[in-house]
Amino acid sequence: MTSNQELIDRGLRTVWHPCTQMKDHERVPPIPVRRGDGVWLEDFDGNRYIDAISSWWVNLFGHANPYINTALRNQAKQLEHVILAGCTHEPVVRLSEQLAAITPGNLKRCFYAENGSAAIEIALKMSFQYWKNNGQTGKTRFVNLENSYHGETIGALSVGDVSIFKDTFEPLLLKPYTVPSPDAYCREPGESAEEYALRRAGDLARTLEEHAHQICAVIIEPLVQCAGGMRMHHPAYLMKLRELCDIHDVHLIADECAVGFGRTGTMFACEQADITPDFMCLAKGLTAGYLPLSAVVTSDRIYQAFYDEYDSLKGFLHSHSYTGNPLCCAVALATLELFEEHDAIEQNKALSSFMAQATERFEDHPHVSDVRQTGMIVAIEMVQDKASKTPYPWQERRGMRVYEYAIQNQALLRPLGNVVYFMPPYVITPEEIQLLCDVAWEGISRATN
């Protein structure tokens, strides 16, 4: 029998963990996970943890979900993989039909990759090439928002704006025009989230007025900037953004990698502003946390700009080895079936109002400046000084203290800097939410003591 300690020791000799200063593991080792069951993870010594962050925001219907397991097993017996250039298969056709049906407006055409970052690269390249194919070679730049996050590959990192991930690589990156974020946390006292969003849309308008002739697209995480600390904005910004993109002949790329698939209370965040982007990037929840798959869904108008004789060189000559992998597509289809079967969007309404109630008390915590929520995401902002919203210096790593307390007490929380958040699988129960709140309260109290 493997024990926690044995696996930790062996792992630390060979595995390089993502987004980690490996030296941290001298003090806080990785959690050796033996199995998952619903919202729970279990280690080799039988300790259990609620996966409050859906394993980096991917899991929707619990670990080791029997329905998805069956779909995966059945597909594996039939066809595990085939090249998608020159071949097609049933799971990818069915999934494309379904995505075309559930995404907003005229989004009808699906291009696949293996992760969110690759989906972003594809949207950037497609947007650029669309303009090039139409003879507009001066459009070579992108507009992004302050504090945004779009992934880690060079292009995706370029259009992000989280300095801890980006600064090191700055000399390698594309240079976007960065506009202020509509993040409601930054609004002035007495200003509503909507007023603030509209004020920030004014900044965007000025950038587009000046530079639209150079700009391919504006890229945004609709409603919630997740990696940037679960910062949330009013949908009015998205409506204005759509209007401005139309006026200035610039594409709108909606990065729904994290917020798609019911996370914000609607199937897609864009629905809450009633807008259709030119490109919608989907990843994470697309396979309910099972397998790496992403998609860029776009309109027929975009697609037609690439459709021509081969020697026009207007085709989109981009691929990945596992593009449209049948196992991934079968799991994505099973995920969409579970949405129907569980009536997940409707069920989440009850769960998110329970989360609202259960986290209300954090507003009174002396070191909490903000408790915010969009659908199935609740974030709690720890601060040094509540009145002035003065943050703790990042070097103090207060969030890490919350993490350490939580893993001793049955919860896997993974604060983003000073922001403690819950983004649980949709199969969590009110009792489990309550447990998370109790652990987070105590963890925050100790971390800020």
Q: Interface residues with ligand PLP (CB under 6 A)?
A: 115-117, 120, 149-151, 221, 226-227, 255, 257-258, 283-284
Least spacing, CB of residue 224 vs ligand PLP, in Å:
9
Q: Give the CB-nearest residue to ligand PLP.
A: 116
Q: Could you give the strand order of the β-sheet that contains 107-113, starting from the edge strand earlier in sequence? A: 107-113, 294-299, 279-282, 251-255, 215-220, 141-145, 177-179
Least spacing, CB of residue 281 vs ligand PLP, in Å:
7
Nearer to ligand PLP, 251 or 365 (CB): 251
Q: Which residue has the tokens 């993109």?
A: 245
Least spacing, CB of residue 122 vs ligand PLP, in Å:
12
What is the torsion angle, in degrees rounded to the nearest 10, for the CA atoms of residue 297, residue 300, residue 302 and residue 303?
Answer: 90
Q: Which residues of 309-323 are buried (b: 16+ CB within 10 A; e: fewer)?
A: eeeeebebeeebebb
3-state DSSP helix/strand/coil % of the chain, to nearest 5: 45, 15, 40
Q: Kindly state the helix (H) or strand (E) to which residue 437 belongs, with its residue range.
A: helix 430-447
Name the DSSP class of 272. Answer: G
Instruction: Check residue 315 and give left, alpha or beta (phi > 0: left; psi -120 to 50: alpha).
Output: beta
Nearer to ligand PLP, 219 or 427 (CB): 219
Q: How far is CA 97 from the centre of its chain?
A: 23
Phi/psi at 34 (5° precision): -90, -40
Nearer to ligand PLP, 55 or 299 (CB): 55
Least spacing, CB of residue 203 vs ligand PLP, in Å:
21
CA distances from 160 to 128, 182, 238, 254, 437 (A): 17, 15, 18, 13, 31
Least spacing, CB of residue 258 vs ligand PLP, in Å:
3
Nearer to ligand PLP, 221 or 432 (CB): 221
Nearer to ligand PLP, 119 or 204 (CB): 119
Instruction: Check residue 313 and give left, alpha or beta (phi > 0: left; psi -120 to 50: alpha).
Output: left
Nearer to ligand PLP, 379 or 447 (CB): 379
* Among 210, 212, 186, CA closest to 200: 186
Least spacing, CB of residue 255 vs ligand PLP, in Å:
5
CB distance 98 to 75 below 8 Å: no
Nearer to ligand PLP, 43 or 121 (CB): 121
Please list, in sequence order, all residues whose beta carbon lies within 8 angstroms of the beta carbon of residue 80, skipping any fewer than 6 positions away.
326, 327
Least spacing, CB of residue 227 vs ligand PLP, in Å:
6
Nearer to ligand PLP, 238 or 258 (CB): 258
User: Which amino acid is residue 352, in one-letter code?
Assistant: S
Least spacing, CB of residue 153 vs ligand PLP, in Å:
7
Least spacing, CB of residue 119 vs ligand PLP, in Å:
7
In the chain, how long is the greatest CA-to-CA distance? Answer: 68
Least spacing, CB of residue 294 vs ligand PLP, in Å:
6
Nearer to ligand PLP, 99 or 358 (CB): 99
The pairing of strands 377-382 and 368-374 is antiparallel
Nearer to ligand PLP, 44 or 290 (CB): 290
From the number of C-beta atoms within 10 Å of its C-beta (0-12, 13-18, 19+), residue 112 rates as buried
